[in-house]
Structure 1
Amino acid sequence: MAVLKEAVEKRKQYIIDFLIDHEVYESPDGRQLYELPLAELERMYIELRCEIGREISRIEREEDE
């Protein structure tokens, strides 16, 4: 059980660091990142990664035109 808890905490910290690096400091409802469960952090992480991917695709399309 301790191994699982450690893995969850490492994943949470990875996501929190990623979000902060991309200037996301709190959840949409105003809670601090450190207050959020892993599932909510994962959702925010996936949404941000998708947003970044869409932006990259948009830029690449503009360069191809």
Structure 2
Amino acid sequence: MKVTIDQDRCVGAGQCVLAADDVFDQREDDAVVVLLDDNPPTERAEDVRQAALLCPALAITVEE
């Protein structure tokens, strides 16, 4: 699994962090997403997919 983010699209909703806080974080100053792990372990795959689905800005891309 390969995860990429588009920080320019991010609206800072934080749904990704709620779904997978070991893969995503947010910057303190503007709440834009920060990718902590672009190749998360298999056991986190479902949570990462859920984060991408929940993102209101569609700023997360998951490649299997």
For normalisation by structure 2, the TM-score amounts to 0.34
Q: Which has the larger radius of gyration?
A: 1
Greater RCO structure (CA 8 Å; 6+ sep): 2
More strand by share: 2
